[in-house]
Amino acid sequence: MKLTNKWNRLVYRLWSPFYDRLFDRFFASPGRQRAMEVLNLQPGERVLLIGVGTGADLPLLPEGIEAVGIDLSPAMLGRARSRLPLPGRIAMLVQSDALNLPIRTAAFDTVILNLVLSVVPDGSICLQEALRALKPGGRAVIYDKFLPDSGKLTLIRQLLNQLTT
């Protein structure tokens, strides 16, 4: 199935009430934690979270950070808004398309792409937009689910893909 923004809005509207309890708890939380460790955010940095979803990354941000979270799905952003405000951090949430970010060029010190490149209609364009948003010398972290080098999915992964799609 070809991913489209229309399809993603529908799927994530349906997933939004259960996403954190099912998907994030069992599959994503350790990866999110590791992505934050690798990024090594510093107070005063501006962070762009593309595909912020339910905002699971927001509580992981250290104090002194200014964050902007972008997501296509109003339902997922509604869940993210329930995590705000975050003491010691400034966070703003924006509904927008990751393939056409409403962001100035070179506006962010860091970009977080957690579990988004594999679900947007064009991961390459999303990555280009993320890099456009980064200041020169900025840092980005990608945590996602891609095919293994062998190019073959396990039976369990095939079943999970059918369920989550």
What's the pLDDT tens digit per position in 3-48? 777 876 667 666 766 666 766 665 567 788 888 999 999 999 999 9
Residues 76/19, Cβ–Cβ less than 8 Å:
yes
Residue 139: strand pairing partners: 110
pTM given for the model: 0.81
Burial (CB < 10 A; 0-12, 13-18, 19+), residue 61, is buried
78-120 pLDDT, tens digit per residue, is 999 999 999 999 999 999 999 999 999 999 999 999 989 888 9
In the prediction, which pLDDT does 96 show? Answer: 96
Domain boundaries, the chain: 5-164
CATH no. of 5-164:
3.40.50.150
- CA distance readout (Å), 148 to 24, 113, 124: 21, 19, 18
The answer to whether the CB of 111 falls within 8 A of the CB of 45 is: no
